[in-house]
A = this chain, B = another copy of it.
Amino acid sequence: MQSTVSSLLRPALAAFTKHGGQQRWMSSKNGLKLPNVAIAGVTGAVGQEFLELLAERDFPFNNMKMLASARSAGKEMEFKGKSYVIEELTENSFEDVDIALFSAGGSQSKLYAPAAAATGCIVVDNSSAYRMDPDCPLVVPEINPHAIKTQNKKNIIANPNCSTIIMAMPVFPLHQLSPIKRVVCSTYQASSGAGAAAMRELEQQARDWVEGKPYTQDIFGRQYMWNLFSHNSKVDPDLLYNEEEIKMMRETCKIFETNVPVTATCIRVPVLRAHCESINIEFSSPVDIDTVRRTLQNAPGITIIDNPEENQFPEPLNASGKDDVMVGRIRSDPSLPPGIGYDIFIAGDQIRKGAALNAIQIAELLLE
């Protein structure tokens, strides 16, 4: 049994330095041990984004292992100019792996993450399987990086739901100003949250419409083009909220480490890869708008787009492919006493900060 990555890599920590606000590996040829990395679910939308981000951020690694279902095993995939053969994801995939980035769905995570963790490998899991497990940290690096150390009892670190991460980014720094009494959130979610095939189906529906053909609807089973609909996760028969909404309510409390009452309405709109959210915040005590604006401006991972004259605000297009969550329409809610209520509108790349980027940031924390 190997020791954990943290101890394996502790000597390497000194080789890190802050550069341009981002950690960069300064010396990968000094004989320091670099982690062996595996990606489980490498052929999916998030899996592909993992590769792009690992390259873009110069994530230090020794070996890279590409894992997917038996269907994809044997195919080749290029990464940083080198060709890799995709291997089938099994219990035995992780013997020599230090960090495993999982994005192969909840059932695969439940099957294989414990086996990976048992070898001493640290799993960063994108699925919902371990998010509410009290022995697994649920981490947004800008908010609760400490949880990686204090809550990790299984070598599995959970990456929150995409809508939760994107909402938490502006809400948490505001929560530091005055405890948040209540959040009312309505989402405008992209097809990417349902995977690469769902994005292709939406695009195909646009072609179908132009060509006057019946809509292709293998994934969603409905017309998505020129339409929007309540999020396609299961609705809890008692609560009547769907799984996506319940994730936003419960995960936010775990990440903030306090009870933050959230109500959410999750809607899919015909957009490809960035989620938007209309967020109404109720503070427990008054905060003036300049403080709200300044706090959001200074918060990590946030870019303000708030130009009423030009009607320039966060939208899927200006968030797509970006690391930061875009925040705008910052205004004082007149339906509550002065300073108590605020409305904001935000946009975040669902595949980046909503999934792959947040997981890679967690992996970067593991190197520290």
- A237 smallest CB distance to B (angstroms): 7
Among the listed stretches A73-81, A144-152, A257-265, which one makes contact with chain B, having 4 or more residues with CB under 8 Å of it?
A257-265
Q: Is the CB of A240 within 8 A of B334?
A: no
Interface bits A313-338 vs B (CB < 8 Å: 1, else 0):
10111000000000011111111100
Among the listed stretches A21-29, A48-56, A225-233, A352-360, which one makes contact with chain B, having 4 or more residues with CB under 8 Å of it?
A225-233
Within 8 Å of chain B (Cβ to Cβ): is A276? yes
Pick from B206, B226, B261, B309: contact of A335, CB below 8 A. B261
- A172 smallest CB distance to B (angstroms): 17
Q: Decide yes or no: A345 and B267 within 8 Å by CB, A206-B206, A334-B239 being known contacts.
A: yes
Q: Is the CB of A240 within 8 A of B331?
A: yes
Q: Is the CB of B184 within 8 A of A223?
A: no
A271 cross-chain contacts in B, Cβ below 8 A: 226-228, 270
Q: Is the CB of A263 within 8 A of B280?
A: yes
A343 cross-chain contacts in B, Cβ below 8 A: 263, 265
Pick from B228, B241, B333, B336: contact of A188, CB below 8 A. B228
Q: Is the CB of A317 within 8 A of B227?
A: yes
Within 8 Å of chain B (Cβ to Cβ): is A122? no
Within 8 Å of chain B (Cβ to Cβ): is A37? no
Instruction: Tell me the A276-320 residues at the B interface (CB within 8 Å).
Output: 276, 278, 280, 308-309, 311, 313, 315-317
Q: Is the CB of A269 within 8 A of B210?
A: no
Q: A223 vs B237: C-alpha distance in the bound complex, in angstroms?
A: 39
Interface bits A167-185 vs B (CB < 8 Å: 1, else 0):
0000000000000001110
What is the count of identical protomers in the complex?
2
A278 cross-chain contacts in B, Cβ below 8 A: 186, 265, 267, 278
Q: Is the CB of A229 within 8 A of B336?
A: no
Return the chain B residue nearest A342 by Cβ: B263
A335 cross-chain contacts in B, Cβ below 8 A: 182-184, 249, 261-263
Q: Is the CB of A229 within 8 A of B311?
A: yes
Return the chain B residue nearest A317 by Cβ: B227
Q: Is the CB of A226 within 8 A of B331?
A: no
A206 cross-chain contacts in B, Cβ below 8 A: 206, 209-210, 225
Most chain B CB within 10 A, of A211, A267, A336, is at A267
Within 8 Å of chain B (Cβ to Cβ): is A272? yes
Q: A278 vs B345: C-alpha distance in the bound complex, in angstroms?
A: 14
Within 8 Å of chain B (Cβ to Cβ): is A341? yes
Most chain B CB within 10 A, of A237, A309, A313, is at A313
Q: Is the CB of A232 within 8 A of B262?
A: no
Q: A263 vs B249: C-alpha distance in the bound complex, in angstroms?
A: 21
Q: A186 vs B316: C-alpha distance in the bound complex, in angstroms?
A: 17
Instruction: Tell me the A236-274 residues at the B interface (CB within 8 Å).
Output: 237, 239-241, 249, 261-263, 265, 267, 269-272
Residues of A that sit less than 8 Å from B by CB? 182-184, 186, 188, 206-207, 209-211, 223, 225-230, 232, 235, 237, 239-241, 249, 261-263, 265, 267, 269-272, 276, 278, 280, 308-309, 311, 313, 315-317, 328-336, 341, 343, 345
